[in-house]
Amino acid sequence: MKLITRDTDYAVRALCLIAQRKGCIVSVKKLALALQLPRPFLRKILQQLNKKKILESFKGQSGGFILAKEPAKIFLTDIMRIFQGKPSLNECFLKKIVCPHTGSCPLRKKIVKIEDYVLRELGTVSIALLLRS
Q: Answer for the pair 78, 54: CB distance below 8 angstroms, yes or no.
A: yes
Q: How far apart are CA 114 and CA 32, in angstroms?
A: 36
C-beta neighbour count of 4 within 10 angstroms: 15
- Residue 63 near residue 25, CB atoms below 8 Å: yes
Residue 95 touches which of ligand FES, DNA, a copy of itself, none (Cβ within 5-8 Å per kind): ligand FES
Binding mask 1-20 for DNA (x = CB under 7 A): ----xxx--x----------
**Binding stretches for a copy of itself (CB under 8 A):** 1-4, 8-9, 12-13, 16-17, 34-36, 76, 80, 84-85, 87-90, 93-94, 96-99, 101, 104-107, 110-111, 113-114, 117-118, 121-122, 124-125, 129-130, 132-133
